[in-house]
């Protein structure tokens, strides 16, 4: 008796029973299809109706499809076709751990392209919180087990502002293998690995240590294989944290400016006030203005007093520097209290043990490079902001 017939019988018997339905028991039956008419095993003797097709309830073992084929030649051909489809886009044959492309599987540059070069995904390192000058980026290795071999990763970075054409200016380009792992690049950028759950062999990381505070940066990454092909670009844009501010110093300067502005201001005092305000950074100037207005606004706000004491021209030169402060940082710089602190966190700085031959970058496989890593502590200065001294919080810019 087919299983669905058995269930239907149970359901009918329960519905026709004079007794009440069994509490908590519900039987629901439906047919999921029928066996094809060509299947003689599915026909019941003396019955024209086809029995329902069985429904797959669970899979307890996964095997390659080609292992179900009994004929060895057919099985091998099927296996080759599946391997070619999965690893070589169906346009080549799998030979050990690489793809031998068909004659029609070449791009406009004459390079074989049957084995796809995956796009790397650039991201912020979750274990290194960005500061005003330090940012750590990472990505997973995209080299597949079979097929294309990654030779290098190219990382471009640039600061984006209103004077920069983001399409024409690509920024500074760094080769992960030749510039960073070799140690020949700038000391402000280093290759390494951040501490995480991903196995170190599949994770690459780069730390930037000399970025400008409150700056908008664009980072672009692409992979290069051993034949010179480039992957699609992966891009992230972020803003570094606000500049460090010595709040006590800013308050001292605000008091000094008030004393210079108070009463009759001689030419010497005017020049001293002008030089003092021009020497501090834009973020410090913003904080000086905040403290001045908090304590002495009843005698005239900072802008009006500066124009009155220094004249419109000098006051304009000072006040236009406040435009360099982003809206996000200007909000934080209005906090009641600001404190500075230093965080230290471990980071693995890595260098290759071998020198790659010049001019032969494409013939080297990055994964085969022997790398030595050394753990060092990275110091990062941060501001904490709050409305009271007992409730200070660290805030970084959104990205």
Please tell me what DSSP assigns to residue 244.
Answer: P
- 84 shares a domain with 50: no
**What is the C-alpha separation between 102 and 125, in angstroms, rounded?**
40
Structure tokens at 12: 């009918």
**What is the C-alpha separation between 25 and 44, in angstroms, rounded?**
31
For residue 16, what are the CA distances in angstroms to 6, 20, 21, 30? 16, 10, 10, 19
Question: How confident is the model at residue 8, as a pLDDT?
Answer: 66
Tell me, yes or no, whether 392 lies in a domain. no
For residue 283, what are the CA distances in angstroms to 36, 242, 358? 78, 8, 45
pTM summary value: 0.70
* Dihedral angle over CA of 280, 284, 289, 293, nearest 10: -130
- 372 shares a domain with 229: yes
- 315 shares a domain with 278: yes
What are 6-65's pLDDT values in tens digits? 666 666 665 555 554 444 445 555 555 556 566 665 555 555 555 555 555 555 666 676
Tell me, yes or no, whether 396 lies in a domain. no
**What is the C-alpha separation between 295 and 363, in angstroms, rounded?**
67
With vertex at residue 173, the alpha carbon angle to CA 216 and CA 121, rounded to the nearest 5 degrees, is 70
Percent with pLDDT over 70 in the chain: 72
Identify each DSSP E strand in 92-187 by its residue range. Answer: 92-95, 98-101, 123-124, 135-140, 150-159, 172-175
8 A C-beta contact, residue 399 and residue 212: no
Tell me, yes or no, whether 338 lies in a domain. no
Tell me, yes or no, whether 53 lies in a domain. yes
| Coil vs helix vs strand at 247 | helix
**What is the C-alpha separation between 84 and 155, in angstroms, rounded?**
32
- 255 shares a domain with 198: no
Please tell me what DSSP assigns to residue 14.
Answer: H
Give the mean pLDDT of the chain.
Answer: 79
8 A C-beta contact, residue 315 and residue 261: no
CATH assignment of the domain containing 190: 2.60.40.10
Q: Is 289 exposed, middle or buried (0-12, 13-18, 19+ CB in 10 A)?
A: buried
8 A C-beta contact, residue 329 and residue 215: no
- 186 shares a domain with 47: no
**What is the C-alpha separation between 364 and 321, in angstroms, rounded?**
50
The separation between CA 5 and the C-alpha centre of its own chain, rounded to angstroms, equals 56
- 221 shares a domain with 359: yes
- 95 shares a domain with 193: no
Question: How confident is the model at residue 120, as a pLDDT?
Answer: 94
What are 182-234's pLDDT values in tens digits? 876 677 888 876 555 455 557 888 999 889 998 889 999 999 998 888 999 99
Q: Which helix (H) or strand (E) holds 283?
A: helix 282-296
**What is the C-alpha separation between 174 and 189, in angstroms, rounded?**
9
- 328 shares a domain with 309: yes
| Coil vs helix vs strand at 367 | helix
- 326 shares a domain with 299: yes
- 71 shares a domain with 35: no
- 211 shares a domain with 101: no
Tell me, yes or no, whether 305 lies in a domain. yes
**What is the C-alpha separation between 106 and 104, in angstroms, rounded?**
6
- 267 shares a domain with 224: no
Q: How many domains does one find in the chain?
A: 5
Tell me, yes or no, whether 391 lies in a domain. no
What are 158-186's pLDDT values in tens digits? 888 755 555 666 678 888 888 888 876 67
- Evaluate if residue 328 carries a pLDDT over 80: yes
8 A C-beta contact, residue 35 and residue 42: yes
Question: How confident is the model at residue 397, as a pLDDT?
Answer: 40
Q: Look-up: residue for tokens 């021009």?
A: 278
Tell me, yes or no, whether 397 lies in a domain. no
Question: How confident is the model at residue 389, as a pLDDT?
Answer: 59
Q: Phi/psi of residue 14, each to 5°?
A: -70, -40
Q: Look-up: residue for tokens 């999921």?
A: 32
Tell me, yes or no, whether 51 lies in a domain. yes
Distance between start and end Cα atoms, the chain = 65
What are 297-326's pLDDT values in tens digits? 888 889 999 998 889 999 999 999 998 898
Sorting pLDDT into bands at 50, 70 and 90, what band is 72?
A: confident
8 A C-beta contact, residue 342 and residue 381: yes
Q: Is 219 exposed, middle or buried (0-12, 13-18, 19+ CB in 10 A)?
A: buried
Containing structural domain, residue 278: 247-333
């Amino acid at each position: 008796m087919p299983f669905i017939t058995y269930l239907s019988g149970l359901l009918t018997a329960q519905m026709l029973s004079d007794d009440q339905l069994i509490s908590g028991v519900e039987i629901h039956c439906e047919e999921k299809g029928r066996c094809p008419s060509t299947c003689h095993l599915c026909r019941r003797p003396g019955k024209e109706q086809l029995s329902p097709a069985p429904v797959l309830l669970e899979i307890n073992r996964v095997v390659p499809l080609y292992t179900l084929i009994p004929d060895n030649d057919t099985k091998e051909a099927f296996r080759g076709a599946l391997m070619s489809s999965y690893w070589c886009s169906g346009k080549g044959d799998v030979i050990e751990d690489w793809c031998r492309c068909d004659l029609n599987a070449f791009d406009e540059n004459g390079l074989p392209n049957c084995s796809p070069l995956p796009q790397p995904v650039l991201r912020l390192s979750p274990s290194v919180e960005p500061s005003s000058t330090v940012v750590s980026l990472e990505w997973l290795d995209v080299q597949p087990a079979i097929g294309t071999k990654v030779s290098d990763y190219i990382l471009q970075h640039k600061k984006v502002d209103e004077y920069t054409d983001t399409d024409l200016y690509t920024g500074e380009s760094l080769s992960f293998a030749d510039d960073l792992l070799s140690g020949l690049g700038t000391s402000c950028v280093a290759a390494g690995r951040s501490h995480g759950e991903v196995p170190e062999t599949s994770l690459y990381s780069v730390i930037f240590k000399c970025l400008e505070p409150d700056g908008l940066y664009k980072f672009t990454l692409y992979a290069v294989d051993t034949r010179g092909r480039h992957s699609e670009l992966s891009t992230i844009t972020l803003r570094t944290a606000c500049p460090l501010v010595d709040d006590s110093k800013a308050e001292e300067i605000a008091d000094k400016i008030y004393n210079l502005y108070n009463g009759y201001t001689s030419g010497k005092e005017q020049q001293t006030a002008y030089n003092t305000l021009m020497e501090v950074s834009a973020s410090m100037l913003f904080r000086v203005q905040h403290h001045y207005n908090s304590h002495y606004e009843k005698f005239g706000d900072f802008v009006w007093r500066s124009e009155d004491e220094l004249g419109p021209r000098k006051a304009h030169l000072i006040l236009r520097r406040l435009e360099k402060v982003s809206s996000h940082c200007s909000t934080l710089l209005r906090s009641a209290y600001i404190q500075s602190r230093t965080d230290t966190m471990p980071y693995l700085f890595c260098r290759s043990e071998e020198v790659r031959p010049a001019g032969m970058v494409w013939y080297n496989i990055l994964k085969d490079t022997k790398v030595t890593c050394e753990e060092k502590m990275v110091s990062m200065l941060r501001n904490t902001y709050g409305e009271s001294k007992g409730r200070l919080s660290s805030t970084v810019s959104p990205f």
